[in-house]
Amino acid sequence: MKLEICHVTKYRYDASVTDSVNEIRLTPRTDERQACYQHRLVIDPNVQLLSYEDYFGNRVHSFTAHAPHRELVITSYSTVVTRDKDVLWSAAWGPEESWNRLKSEDFIDGYAEYLLPSSYVSFHPRVEAYASGIRGEEDGVFGFIRNAGSAIYGDFEYKPLSTGVQTTADELIGIGSGVCQDFAHLLIAVCRLRGVPSRYVSGYHFVGDLQGRDADFEQASHAWVEVYIPGVGWQGIDPTNNNLIDWRYVKLGHGRDYADIVPVKGIYRGTSGQELQVTVDVRLAETG
C-alpha cells in the first residue's frame, strides 16, 4: 500500500530564542518491508540542513537556527510503500535449538547492545518479577514473544497522559497504564531478561479505515518492538495493539530504547517558557 504522511512539530516560545540546535529522525526507512519513495523536510525559520546516518543506521537531519525567533515549525512529508512481509516461519528453529542459540557466547556478544538494560528498559526487581510470570518457552522464541506481547496488552490499560516521556518499564508496572512507548519498553525488558535481542522502533500506524474511523480521527506517532527470532531474523510486534507488524506500519528507525530514536530533540538559548504541538496525518495515497 502507498501511504502519505505529514508530521508537524511546532514550538512556540514566550519570548525570542536564539541558537536553536536540533536533530531530527523523521525519515522513513527503506528495507525489505517498506520503501520510502519521497521525503521532504520544511523548517521555519529557514535553515541549512545537514544529513548523516547514526550508529543504528537511522537517517538524521540536523540544523541550527541562529537568528532570534519565537516559533519553530518542523514539517516532514513522506510517501512510503509498504507490504506484508512474507515470513517463512518454517525456517524458524525448533524450541530447544532456538533457545540454545540465544545462550551461545558468540550470539550474546554479537547482539549485546540489544540484550543489556538501558535508561528506559530497566531490569528492576518489579520487571524481573513480571517477566518471570510469562510462559511459552516450550513454543520456541516466537511463541514466548507472542505470549509476552499478549500479556502486556491484557495487563495494562492504554491511557494517554497517565505516564510521561521519561517513564521507565518498572514505573509502568507501578502505574498500571500507559501509552505505546511504555508498552514497548516493557516488552523489550521482558525479552532481554530472557536473552532475546529486542529493539525499540518509532514510526506510524495507519488506522484511518479501521473501526469506522474517518479522516478526522486524531493520529499520532507510534512505537513498537522488533525481536530477533533464530532462523527468521528481526520481526516486529506491537504490544499496544497485540499485533504483528503488517502493511499498516511505517518504520522511521530503531535503537536500544526511546532515547536513541527521539523524533525531534534540541536545545536553544532563551526563555524556558514554551508550548509544543505535534500533529500527524497518515492516509492512503490517492491512486488513478
Q: Is the domain of 105 the same as that of 222?
A: yes
Say if 118 falls within a structural domain. yes
Say if 88 falls within a structural domain. no
pLDDT of residue 212: 47
Q: Give the integer Cα–Cα distance in Å for 228 and 230.
A: 6
Q: Is the domain of 203 the same as that of 114?
A: yes
Q: Is the domain of 132 the same as that of 39?
A: no
Q: What is the band of 73 on the pLDDT scale with cuts at 50, 70, 90?
A: very high
Q: Is the domain of 122 the same as that of 230?
A: yes
pLDDT of residue 84: 86
118-137 pLDDT, tens digit each: 999 999 999 999 999 998 88
Q: Give the integer Cα–Cα distance in Å for 23 and 59.
A: 10
pLDDT of residue 258: 97
Say if 144 falls within a structural domain. yes
The C-alpha cell that represents 50 in the structure block: 545537514
Nearest to 254 by CA among 12, 13, 31, 95: 31
Residue 156 pLDDT exceeds 50: yes
Stronger pLDDT, 85 or 22, i.e. the higher one: 22
DSSP letter (8 states) at residue 166:
T
How big is the CA angle at 2 (ends 62 and 83), to the nearest 5 degrees? 100
Q: How many CA atoms lie within 13 A of 169 on its CB side?
A: 30
CA distances from 95 to 4, 38, 142, 188, 189 (A): 40, 41, 9, 20, 21
Residue 217 pLDDT exceeds 80: no
Q: Is the domain of 143 the same as that of 7?
A: no
The C-alpha cell that represents 8 in the structure block: 508537524
- The tally of domains found in the chain comes to 2
Q: Is the domain of 179 the same as that of 69?
A: no
Q: Which residues pair with 43 in a beta bridge?
A: 74
Q: Is the domain of 131 the same as that of 110?
A: yes
Residue pointed to by grid coordinates 518542523? 74
Q: What is the band of 93 on the pLDDT scale with cuts at 50, 70, 90?
A: confident
Q: Is the domain of 244 the same as that of 151?
A: yes
Say if 89 falls within a structural domain. no
DSSP letter (8 states) at residue 94:
P
Q: What is the band of 236 on the pLDDT scale with cuts at 50, 70, 90?
A: very high
Q: Give the integer Cα–Cα distance in Å for 132 and 26.
A: 36
Q: Is the domain of 77 the same as that of 150?
A: no
For residue 279, the domain's CATH number is 2.60.40.2250
pLDDT of residue 288: 56
**Cα 203 to chain center, whole Å?**
6
Instruction: Please provide residue 234's backbone torsions phi and psi, each rounded to the nearest 5 degrees.
Output: -75, 130
Q: Is the domain of 193 the same as that of 54?
A: no
Burial grade of 120 (CB within 10 A; 0-12, 13-18, 19 or more): buried
pLDDT of residue 90: 61
Q: Are strands 157-158 and 177-178 parallel, antiparallel or unpaired?
A: parallel
Q: What is the band of 44 on the pLDDT scale with cuts at 50, 70, 90?
A: very high
pLDDT of residue 22: 97
Stronger pLDDT, 87 or 6, i.e. the higher one: 6
Q: Looking at beta carbons, which pairs linking 123-126 to residues 24 or more positions away fall under 8 Å?
A: 123/189, 123/192, 123/193, 124/168, 124/169, 124/170, 126/170, 126/173, 126/174
Q: How many of the other CB atoms lie within 10 Å of CB of 9?
A: 20
Q: For a pLDDT cut of 90, what percent of the chain falls above it? A: 84
pLDDT of residue 136: 86
Say if 90 falls within a structural domain. no
* C-beta of residue 165 within 8 angstroms of C-beta of residue 182: no
Q: What is the band of 216 on the pLDDT scale with cuts at 50, 70, 90?
A: very low
| Residue range 35-48: mean pLDDT, rounded | 96
Q: Which residues pair with 80 in a beta bridge?
A: 3, 36
| Residue range 58-86: mean pLDDT, rounded | 95
Q: Give the integer Cα–Cα distance in Å for 98 and 231.
A: 8
Sign of the dihedral through C-alpha 141, 146, 151, 152: positive
Which range has the worst mean pLDDT, 56-60, 77-81, 95-99?
A: 95-99
Q: Which domain holds residue 14?
A: 2-83+262-284
3-state helix, strand, coil in the chain (%, to 5): 25, 40, 35
